[in-house]
Every structure is written in C-alpha cells, then in structure tokens.
Amino acid sequence: MELTQAHTYAIQGISVEKICQEFGTPVYVYDAEVIEKQVNKLKEAFSGLKLRIKYASKALTNISILKLMKLYGCEVDTVSLEEIEVAIRAGFSPKEILFTPNSIHIDELAQAVAKGVFVNIDNLYILEEFGKKYGNSVPCCIRMNPHIEAGGHDKIKTGHKESKFGISIDYADAIVAVVEKYNIDMIGLHIHTGSDFSDVEVFIKAADMLFDFAKRFKNIKLFDFGSGFKVAYKKGDKTTDVNLLGEKIKEAVKKFASEYGSEPEIWFEPGKYLVSDSGILFVKTNVLKKTPATTFAGVDSGLNHLIRPMMYGAYHEIINVSNPTAQHTDFSVVGYICETDTFAWNRPLNEVREGDILAIMNAGAYGMTMSSNYNSRPRPAEVLVYKGKAHLIRRRETLEDVLRTQVEVAF
C-alpha cells in the first residue's frame, strides 16, 4: 500500500477507499506483487541449490492464493487432509504436496499416502506403524526435534525439548532401529525450530545437527528446513537475513555433499514470509469513546477476524487511510466483540474520526485462516489485487452461512 502524491492510499494504483466502497468492510486485501517479490527473494537467496519452495498453506489457505503460489513456481506444504484437498483443487499434483501433520492417527496418514502425497512423520510410534504397513514401498521424511529453542513467541517455538513437534534427537538410535527393522524408504529429514526466528546461527546449528544425523542413513535425497523466517511488523524490527542464511546453507550443503557422495534437494516451507506483508485488513471506525485512560476507536471487526494481537501479543501497524495528513493523536483501536479485543493501545495515529477507514497492516498470514464466527459474527470478504485489478476471492459471509451447519431440534 502506497501513499500517492495526492495524499491518498492505493494498491497497484487502485484507490484503497474505492476497494472498500466496492467490497465493504471489514475486508482482507492481498497484493499479488508483494507475494511474488517475496518468492523471488528466496529463489535468489538460495540460488545454486536444488531448491523447492513448499508454501505453508496454513498461513493463508484461500484457493486463489494457492493458485497464485503455483503460478510463481512454489509447491505446497499441508498439515491436514483438508488442506491436501484444497491444494489439489488449486491445481497442485500430489507429488508437489508435502503432508506434515502431528498428533494424528495412522489411518489419516494412510489416507494421505493413498492420495499420493509425500508424508513427513513426527512420531516414533507412527513411524513404526508406517513401517509395518508399507515397509519400503512408500518413501517418507522424518521430522526431528533438535532441542533448540527459537521463535518469537512461546506458542510458535516448535524445536525445543518440551515441544510436541518432531521426534526427539535423543531418540536417534531408536529411529535408526525402526528404519532398519522395516527397511523404511526414508529419503528425507525435516526440522523446524520455530516461527519468527532471526538468528541465522541458530538455524545453522539445527541444520548441522540434521546433516550429521543424515550420515547414518544410505538414501537421503532431501533436507526440509521448514521456515519461520521473521518479517518486520514495525520499523526497526530485526528480520531474518535470508541472503546470509543462503550463503551459510550453501556452504553446509557443499560440505555434506562431498562427504555423503551426492547433493540433496533443499526444501523450505515459508508461509508468513510469503504472505504476511501482502495482506491488509481494512476496517471502518464505528465510534469514538473517550475515557480518563484513553480514547477508543471502535471498529467493525475484532478478534473473530484477526486474533494475533490478542493470542500472541502481536504488533500490527495501523494506518488511518481516510485522514493521512492530520496530526497524530493517541488512540486505542478496539473491536466489536464481547471480549477485550484490542488491536492497539494508545497508538499514535492520524486523527481518527467516525467513518474513517483504518488499515491493519501485515495481516496476510494467520489472519483469515484463524478467523471464527465468535459472537455469531460473519467472517469478512477477501480480495486479491492482481495486475492492477481487484478480484473478489471470498465473498462476505452472511448469517445463513453462520447457521448453515447447525441442526435445529423440534421441542
């Protein structure tokens, strides 16, 4: 979103206020150019490797976004059978889909195998069941837990010792024993230390552990390093230096390949990194309310549409689209849900008036996908701006949508 010389905000030349008038508020708007730019950054940073980018679809699962990712040369990472189906409907072949679930029954994993997707196993018990069922007839990947703590919030740190994700590195011998017992066609190793990490050295430490463990197997063809690349939510935020990471990964891969005898594919599963900055949640100011503590700007949205500030304490920049030249005054931006759903507390904003459109930035990842119908509120529309045109990619819900799956009992 850019501020034009005429002091109006636009996305790819389209007036933001025009978009909001056409599609209403609240509305999620995604800029395809931003997504393409982020994809290209990764391709450039890891050029020279046998690279495969597996978009983590849980970040934003709209089928049109998935089709866009395919257009830009990405494959897809899924965490549920339903996400697999959405990816297939978006045009991905099963061979382009990775399935990385946790806490599932072997029957669900078997359904994924039957669809022809590549599975990633993060449980020693499930690995044994997989071996009993398939032997060496189905290739797989194993997700390791390196006991390395990294990430921006406790809820998104996934590689530490107490995490439910992955098979503990302490069970390395047990993994080798199960693989050998059933002659499992284990061709890849996976690791994901956490989301929002910025320390490249921590990432390399985890990668070195994976490379070292891989030498205990004869047929390793790929390493999946997950993602979790940190993006900037406000000015001054430290982000992941993907170019530096690319240099270090290339060095490590070259060393491994010379010792192992073959060069592996390198996979990444970026989600937030690709779509976060592309998405903006536009809301309208319903009411202003002055109290002894603050001035509230109450908007037509809430934690039912964007839960990250309340769930993770996440910071999202907020811009007053309708009054960009006014002086700054502190406002607390809050939602219309019967909970404390505060998007920002005492945030300096261009003076907010009733009816003003506010832009909640960096809302492309884990915004709409984590939305709900709490308070029986419908979910918003989604719009994709592609090549200078705004496309509706999800209509706004109605009360009928909220009630659609409910079954009334006749008393």
Asked whether residue 260 is domain-assigned, the answer is: yes
Domain that includes residue 329, residue range = 2-24+279-363+365-403
In angstroms, the Cα distances linking 243 to 43, 47, 149 are 10, 10, 22
Cα angle, residue 236 at apex, residues 43 and 320 outer, rounded to 5°: 100
Query: Confidence class of residue 194 from pLDDT cuts 50, 70 and 90?
Result: low
Catalytic residue check, 20: no
Residue-wise pLDDT for 223-250, tens only, equals 999 988 888 888 888 888 999 999 999 9
Query: Confidence class of residue 201 from pLDDT cuts 50, 70 and 90?
Result: confident
Residue-wise pLDDT for 128-168, tens only, equals 999 999 999 999 999 998 887 644 444 444 445 667 888 99
Residues 239, 341, single domain; the answer is no
Last residue of a domain, one of 227, 248, 274: 274
Instruction: Report, as an integer, the average pLDDT of 99-112.
Output: 94
R_g of the chain computed on alpha carbons: 23
CA distance 49 to 246: 9
pLDDT at 149: 61
Nearest to 35 by CA among 357, 341, 393: 393
In angstroms, the Cα distances linking 42 to 51, 68, 167, 209, 248 are 9, 16, 28, 23, 14
Q: Provide the strand spans (E) within 147-301.
A: 167-168, 186-191, 222-224, 265-268, 279-290, 295-299
pLDDT at 196: 63
- Which position has the higher pLDDT, 202 or 266? 266
pLDDT at 161: 62
Percent of the chain having pLDDT more than 90? 85
**pLDDT above 50: residue 108:** yes
Nearest to 371 by CA among 360, 379, 361, 382: 379
Residues 252, 333, single domain; the answer is no
Instruction: Report, as an integer, the average pLDDT of 255-277.
Output: 96
Last residue of a domain, one of 231, 255, 274: 274
Query: Confidence class of residue 199 from pLDDT cuts 50, 70 and 90?
Result: confident
Asked whether residue 409 is domain-assigned, the answer is: no
Residue-wise pLDDT for 352-401, tens only, equals 999 999 999 999 999 999 999 999 999 999 999 999 999 999 999 999 99
CATH number for position 397: 2.40.37.10
Cα angle, residue 50 at apex, residues 48 and 52 outer, rounded to 5°: 120
Three-state DSSP at 198 gives: coil
Residues 250, 383, single domain; the answer is no
Q: Which of 20, 140, 141, 338 is catalytic?
A: 338
In this structure, what token pair is assigned to residue 39? 């994809």
pLDDT at 146: 83
Based on the structure, what is the number of domains in the chain? 2
